Each structure stands twice: as structure tokens, then as C-alpha cells.
Structure 1
Amino acid sequence: MVEPYRGWRLFFDGAVNYKVFGIATVLISKNVRHYPMATKLKFRCTNNMAEYEAYILGLRMALDMDINELLVIENFDLLIDQVERKWATKNDKILPYVNLAQRVCKKFRKIEFQHTLRAQNEFADALATIASMIQHPESSHIDSLEISLKEEHVYCSHVEVEPDGKPWYNDIKTYLEKQEYPEGITSGRKKTIRRMANGFFLNKEVLYKQTLDLGLLRCMDAIEATKL
């Protein structure tokens, strides 16, 4: 696992498959906000070339964002060794990348390097793979990619007005409060209400949904949800 770092961090990766090439970089701020960028390459390149393309893309992103101190976290030791002049190269395809990377690095006030396992660079790796495989017509525009985290099923956040004007949890609340069921329902529906009620907690007039970690989520009707 990457040790905690108080400044900006840069992850990058390249993806080279049969006739498809992509790169990605992810900048992470001091407050752990992620800034990803993925690019599809329209020219043929080797794995090493793709890594350099991704690395320099990340450096330029950082400079454009006025970042002057950066920790570069990488899983490709050879690239960093070449940039830091620990390992010389005479490869005509790689040497221009090395020279450019060294010039760009000098624009930072402070730049450090840290090795990580490839498995811990999975975000940049996944973005690079997507960029390499996606079809990108010249006439189309692709908006920025937004990734969110969901901790509940989609129906848990869907609140709408019930046809009878009562909140969605009315049957559960009535059962917990009075041990009563709606009129005319089947025995199967009664069993469902009892089973669902086991996951709720009633405190006076307020109903809560119990989570797996014993937390409580307040249940709201459509009007309360709209206000929030």
C-alpha cells in the first residue's frame, strides 16, 4: 500500500494491445480529490513509449494546474531510472522521451519518485485500457468521465409520492407502532411486512433503516426528500 502523502501525487499507465493504444494519468490532490485524464493514441508505439506518453501527460497536467511539488508513483522502474540518469539508453525511440521528461521535470520546484505494485495502480491502468479500446470518431465529442460510488441499491434512493398519498414506509411504520396491517392484504404480504420491519427501528414518530454496521438511516417521504 502507498504510504500517506500530504502533497500532490501522480499515477500513470499505458495500455498497448493489438492495434490499439491508450494512456492515462491520475493526479490526486492533498485532500484526496482525483483528477483523471485518458487519451487514445492514433500512432503505433511500444509499451515503453506508451508509459512515457502517460508520464509526460501527467507532468504537463500538473504544471497546467500550477502544481510545483509532486510525488510520482510508478510501477515501471526502468522509466524512472532513465529519467533520473541511473540507467542510460541508446534506443532511438525512447531517447527523445527521456530528454523531454528530464526537461519537464526541471520545471517543478520539487519532484520525488516512489515505486508501487501494478495492482495498486489499477485506476490509471483501467482508464488507459478504456482509452485504447474505445472508438472515437473525429466528429464526436466525449464529455469528461465522472465516476461515483454507490453504497446502497438504486431503489433505496428512489423516493416518489405514493398513489394513496402515504409515505413509502407507511405499512412498516404502522406495523412497528401498532402491530397492524393494511386492510384486505394477503397473508403473503403480511409476511413480507414483518420481514422488512426487522430491518427498521421506530423512535417515536421517526422511522430509521438499520445498516449492517448498526448505523441508522432516517426514512423520509417524497416531500422531505425534495426539500433535502
Structure 2
Amino acid sequence: MKELMCNLPTLATPVPGEDILLYLSASKTTISAIMMVERLGKQIPIYFISITLKGPEKRYPPMEKLTLSLIFASRKLRRYFEAHKVVLLTDQPLQKVLRRPELSGRLVKWEVELGYHAIEYKTRTSVKGQFYTNGASSEKGNGAVITLISPEGIELTYAIKLDFENTNNTTEYEALLDGLRQAKKVKARNNEANSNSQLVVKQYNGEYDAKDDTMAQYMTQVKELAKTFNTFKMEYVPQGKNRKENVLSKLASVAFDHLAREVKVEVLPSPSISYKEASYVEKTGESWITRIIEFLSEGTPPEDEALSKKIWEKALQYEIIDGPLFRRSYLGPCLKCVDEEEAKYVIQEIHEGIRGMYSGPKTVVAKAMNAWFY
């Protein structure tokens, strides 16, 4: 917060003879204009105005609303229009509309009024915008934060609350997908996404394979959305350089109500992909538990004397309960024994399930035993 406050955007004073850039915006109920000056390749704001439309003004066509925005700007900022050349950057054919011979009514009056000023109409070039994403998953909840940055440097930060089970990786993907949807909603054409998840970035860039079915589905959706833009690329941003989004995403996962007063918020009730039915593990061949089950159920030890003694000593710690083999526990419930294939599935669920984490072997084993597996 201190860094942001120390780098607040400052308003500039135009120098005599300097060209002024003007951007217009119009929505259903509001029109606005921002005046800027370009110095050292950077655009610095001079003045910003915003007006709420009233009565019949709300029913004006979009092109007339933009023209009205220009009229209000020329009246409010008359001293700048009279002393400088104003370059209007827009992706709308505003100049052609004002110079049509069949103009009538208010458009004729506006065109005459604007004719007193030196206004140059230029097509707004397509400049790349970018957005930063960060997701956080914990036992208390799941949340993500997206910061959209326009070509002019205007930032819009908002949080999303994931109201369904998630892992760290799926949370990062949900943040990325929501950022892409928001960029598409504002009609962005060239985008750059910045994420602090190496897995997501490298899977998109083809350095990692999305072997897991869930990750593969998410990656398919990301690539489909990326095709809707003229250009799109993904970059990895370390946690240290993505601190604001990292902090806000953690707040979104645990203190959503407090965060709602600071930034725009959104709740996603369901995941962006459709999960398949829960998978199961098919047991094939013998495993370490097979001989113990045979000894306990049939009472026949192996022919090898040393192996028979070993099985007999081990069997004292196990018992069969309704079919499966369990290991006795002195301080807690019995632990269900699993073979190698089942163990792989349990470890995968620990890494990628609702309590997904990145931990070492000892921690994973302890977590599996806490879940009553052995």
C-alpha cells in the first residue's frame, strides 16, 4: 500500500504549442472524457470529466453520446481547446458522422460549435493490454484476484470468490479464465496475461504436458478463449513481483466480506469445467497386503520358513474387517491398508484435492495416515 501511495499518478500541465490527446467514453447513463499529454513515450493525464445523462439524453444513439461527450469536454475545457491542437483518438467514425451532408437537428449545432476548435481525428491504434492473476486455496476458502490494465495504464482490480471445492492449481486456472472473460467483455484485442503459477504458464506455452484430466480440460478452455484475441501470450511473474494480487487473493479466500468494500467482487458458484465421474482403482495382481490377507483368512503360511516367520509377526498388527485389511492403531481408529495403485490415487487426492498442498514425502505420509490410510 505504501508503494502504491508513493507512485500515485500526477496531473500534468500542458506546455504552449504541445498537442493534447483526448479520449472519449460513453455508456448507457454516463459520458466521460480524459485529456492527456504524451511525454517520453508515456501518456500523462491533464484533466478528467464525467457527466451523468438525464432524461432523453439516455436514449441518444451511441454515436450521439460520444459527440455529446466531445461537446461537454470542449465547453468545460475551453481554455485547452483554444490554446492547443487537440488530437481525438477514437475507434469510432465520429468525424464521418459529423461531416455527413444530411445532418440535422442537434448534430448540426454540435458540428458548428466544434468547428471553432482545431480538432484532429485519429484512429485509435490497437495497443496491448495486460492483466495479472493470482489464486489462493486454503481450508477456510478459495479466492482469486484479477487486475486488468488498459493500454493507457488504467487499472481495474476485482476479486472472485470460488464457491466450490478447489485446489491451488485449479484456483489459478479459474483466475486466468475469469481474466480472459473480462478482457473479452471489454473488447480487448491484444492481451498479455501474467500469472505467478509456473505450472499454468508452462502448460500453456507447451513446456509441461497437462497429463491430469482436470488440468487438460482447463488448458483446452484457456486456449479456446485465447483464440478470440488477435494476439495473446502468457508470462510468469514471481510471487515477489505480484505481491498486491497475492495478498488480495488470500483476503478473498478468507475475508471476502471485508474485501467487498475495497474492490469489485464476484462469486463463481460452479467450476468452469465439467468434472467426470469419480474415478476408481482396479486391483490387479498381488501386492504387499495379499500374503497377510491369505494368512489371516486361510491360516496357511508361506512354504519359505523365513518368510513365514516374517508374515506371522506382521499379521499380529493387522485384522480383516468386512473384507478389507486394516492395521491396528493404539491411539486412534484402524488404518485401511492400500496397495501401490491405491496409494498413488490417495497421494494424488492429497496433492490435488480440496486440501491440496505442496509438501515433502514425510508430510504427505503423515497426512495420508491422518486420513486413516496405511
TM over 0.5: yes
Q: Distance in 2 between matches of 1:19 and 1:94?
A: 23
Aligned residue number for residue 92 of structure 1: 213
**Correspondent of 2:236 among 92, 108, 115:** 115
**Correspondent of 2:148 among 18, 27, 32:** 27
**Correspondent of 1:17 among 138, 151, 173:** 138
Q: Distance in 1 between matches of 2:148 and 2:256?
A: 25
Q: Residue 128 in 1 paired to residue 246 in 2?
A: no
Q: Distance in 1 between matches of 2:184 and 2:140?
A: 31
Shift of the alpha carbon at 1:144? 6.5
Could you tell me which amino acid in structure 1 is paired with residue 202 of structure 2? D
* Conserved 8 A contact 1:13-1:51: yes
Q: 1:85 to 1:46 in 2, by over 3 A?
A: same
Q: Distance in 2 between matches of 1:62 and 1:18?
A: 30
Q: Distance in 1 between matches of 2:141 and 2:251?
A: 10
Residues 1-228 of structure 1 correspond to what in structure 2 (within 5 A)?
A: 7-134=128-255, 142=260, 145=263
Q: Distance in 2 between matches of 1:99 and 1:113?
A: 15
Identity score, percent: 25
Q: Distance in 2 between matches of 1:76 and 1:66?
A: 26
Q: Distance in 2 between matches of 1:100 and 1:48?
A: 15
Shift of the alpha carbon at 1:85? 2.8
Q: Which runs of 5+ in 2 are unaligned?
A: 1-40, 43-126, 265-374
* Conserved 8 A contact 2:128-2:191: yes
Q: 1:56 to 1:125 in 2, by over 3 A?
A: same
* Conserved 8 A contact 1:19-1:44: no
Q: 1:37 to 1:119 in 2, by over 3 A?
A: same
Could you tell me which amino acid in structure 1 is paired with residue 226 of structure 2? C
RMSD: 2.2
User: Deviations along 1:121-159, whole A, 9 cap, x unmatched?
Assistant: 1122122112111255xxxxx56628xxxxxxxxxxxxx
* Conserved 8 A contact 2:130-2:192: yes
Q: Distance in 2 between matches of 1:86 and 1:102?
A: 15
Q: Which moved more, 1:114-123 or 1:4-13?
A: 4-13
Q: Distance in 1 between matches of 2:232 and 2:205?
A: 11
User: If the length of structure 1 is used for normalisation, what is the TM-score?
Assistant: 0.55
* Conserved 8 A contact 1:75-1:116: yes
Q: Distance in 2 between matches of 1:29 and 1:95?
A: 30
* Conserved 8 A contact 2:159-2:263: no
Q: Distance in 1 between matches of 2:233 and 2:146?
A: 16
Q: 1:65 to 1:144 in 2, by over 3 A?
A: farther
Shift of the alpha carbon at 1:86? 2.8
Could you tell me which amino acid in structure 2 is paired with residue 123 of structure 1? K
SS of the residue aligned with 2:206? coil
Shift of the alpha carbon at 1:83? 1.9
Alignment length (residue pairs): 138
* Conserved 8 A contact 2:140-2:254: no
- After superposing on structure 2, the runs of 4+ consecutive aligned residues of structure 1 that deviate more than 6 Å are none
Q: Distance in 2 between matches of 1:127 and 1:22?
A: 9
Greater relative CO (CA pairs within 8 A, separation 6+) = 1
Q: Which runs of 5+ in 1 are unaligned?
A: 137-141, 147-228
Q: Distance in 2 between matches of 1:104 and 1:64?
A: 12
SS of the residue aligned with 1:87? coil
| Bigger Rg, structure 1 or 2 | 2
